[in-house]
Amino acid sequence: MPQGFVRAFVLGSLPINEQDKFIYLLSQEKGLLKAIAPGSLKVKNRFGSLFELFTKGEFFYYWKENKEIITISKGEIINSYFSTISNPENIFYFYLISEILLKSLPSNQKDKRVFKLMESILNNRIEGVEMNFLLLYFLVWILRIEGMMFNPLICYNCFLKNTNKAWVKNNFRGILCIKCKTNEKFTLDTEELKYIKWTEKNSPKNFSTWKNKIDINKMIKLFVKKIEFHIECTLKSSRYITELN
């Protein structure tokens, strides 16, 4: 049987039976992978805490021909983010991030940007960047990576550039200027439109630039709704996020 090796983040796990778990991995080279971890539910198992949410590890696996699901044979923890993830201030945000990745990423999509994005989100949280700002940064980037982010500088209808205020189309596919708007619910002001563009070339560690300049809660709600519209389902984890209720 072919064998392989990846560095990856654990996006989630669920029991298959009394002994085995089904594991979702976000790898740098192969994107989203689905795996079985035999014996991982046994009291004494060879994996230990390897499958905690967003643990970064090295995973050795094998697979049978024509099978989309790999089988993990062994692994080692590179970096455990357990203390950060399990903090009550953070846990529901990371549940939401995990759910978004699982529902929006196709299997085996080879795009290193998603892996690097998660690495940045986790490390910046450890360094003290506020969790709601990191969630907003994540939402903007995952939409951009998946080709769903609209151009924040041009009216979708008349192509007017650099509008001072924009109304987001009800199908979330673009922004409208004051002359083109109808009954749109979500609006973005100048600073919020600039923020979307700013994320293209800047790290979330520079979040202080935008403090008190943008409505973070409004923008989080907008982009979560946009993701739900595109994936055609409600994100269950969103009910636990203060900014969304």
Task: Write out pLDDT tens, residues 191-234.
Answer: 999 999 999 999 999 898 898 999 999 999 999 999 999 999 99
**Sheet strand arrangement including 175-176:** 175-176, 165-168, 187-189
70-115 per-position pLDDT tens digit:
999 999 999 999 999 999 999 999 999 999 999 999 877 778 999 9
**CATH fold of 84-244, please?**
de novo design (two linked rop proteins) (1.20.1440)
What confidence category does residue 242 fall into, taking pLDDT thresholds of 50, 70 and 90? confident
β-pairing verdict for 31-37 and 69-79: parallel
Question: In this predicted structure, what is the pLDDT of residue 133?
Answer: 96
Contact 22, 36 (CB under 8 A): yes
Q: What is the pLDDT of residue 1?
A: 56
Q: Indicate the domain borders of the chain.
A: 3-80, 84-244
pLDDT band at 66 (very low <50, low <70, confident <90, very high): low
Torsions phi, psi for 244 (to 5 deg): -105, 5
- The rounded mean pLDDT for the chain is 93
Question: Which residue do the tokens 């995990």 mark?
Answer: 98
Q: Collapsing DSSP states into helix, strand and coil, what is residue 176?
A: strand
User: pTM score, two decimals?
Assistant: 0.94
Neighbours of 146 (CB within 10 A): 18
pLDDT digits (tens, 9 = 90+) for 126-164: 999 999 999 999 999 999 999 999 999 999 999 999 888
Protein fold of 3-80: OB fold (Dihydrolipoamide Acetyltransferase, E2P) (2.40.50)
Cα 220 to Cα 196: distance, rounded to the nearest angstrom:
12
Structure tokens at 37: 């971890």
The count of C-alpha atoms lying within 13 angstroms of the C-alpha of 73, restricted to the half-sphere facing its C-beta, is 10
For residue range 162-198, list pLDDT tens digits in order. 888 999 999 999 999 999 999 999 999 999 999 999 9
